[in-house]
Chains A and B, each alone.
Chain A
């Protein structure tokens, strides 16, 4: 099992540009989560999906952020337009129904100049 796969691992972009982060969960996992990690705010849950359907997006900071899960093996987190305060490490994680343990990807480090 390759684990949760995220890409890109590092992204540097300029303010105003669109950013797309990608995630492939573990096969068979039916829950997928997007977290953001910063020094100031720690780990924040942005959104999670169950069976490809968004369940709770209350953590999405604003309309510039959007997430999709078109199928069970792929999800995207998009920021448009990006701002310097979006600089953070974004983690994707997955789990299976009934479990209480998450498996995290290695993260995507985003720097917005």
Chain B
């Protein structure tokens, strides 16, 4: 079956540091890939997505590139802020939202 493996957390960075959160996947067919973010006390929100190989999703300074050859979708940001502190979930679907498979989440804390 489909699965998503995320870098284990927690991750703690200083403000303005470079961020990478690794995500790899196993899927049949050609999945769409997503990063969702969960801020403290809130539900998950879509951060970015990519629907085919070599697509780059981007939003709020975050980027992730769909790499079919390495089955990866790593999340990056060049300069993190305290307000980026949250839990980040990698996810995929090969069909539709009703078939979303989530990773275990990575807790990010950014210190001032």
Q: How many residues of B contact A (CB 8 A)?
A: 20
Interface residues of A, Cβ cutoff 8 Å to B:
4, 31, 33, 42-43, 45, 48, 50, 55-56, 91, 93, 95, 98-102, 104-107
Given contacts A100-B93, A104-B44, A106-B42, whether A48 and B98 have CB atoms under 8 Å apart is yes
Partner of B105 from the list A43, A45, A55, A95 (CB cut-off 8 Å) is A43
Partner of B97 from the list A42, A91, A99 (CB cut-off 8 Å) is A99
Question: Does more than half of chain A's interface fall in helix, strand or loop, or is it mixed?
Answer: strand
| Given A50-B98, A102-B100, 19 more pairs with CB closer than 8 A | A31-B97, A33-B97, A42-B103, A48-B98, A55-B98, A56-B98, A91-B43, A91-B44, A93-B43, A98-B96, A99-B96, A99-B97, A100-B32, A100-B51, A100-B93, A101-B34, A102-B44, A102-B46, A107-B43
**Alpha-carbon distance between A61 and B80 when the two chains are bound, in angstroms:** 39
Q: Enumerate chain A residues within 8 angstroms of B98, measured Cβ to Cβ.
A: 31, 33, 48, 50, 55-56, 95
Given contacts A33-B98, A43-B102, A106-B41, whether A101 and B89 have CB atoms under 8 Å apart is no
Q: Enumerate chain A residues within 8 angstroms of B77, measured Cβ to Cβ.
A: none
Q: Enumerate chain B residues within 8 angstroms of A91, measured Cβ to Cβ.
A: 43-44
Q: Is the CB of B97 within 8 A of A102?
A: yes
Q: Enumerate chain B residues within 8 angstroms of A106, measured Cβ to Cβ.
A: 41-43
Q: Is the CB of B93 within 8 A of A42?
A: no
7 A-B pairs, CB-CB below 8 angstroms? A43-B102, A91-B43, A95-B97, A98-B96, A99-B96, A102-B44, A105-B43
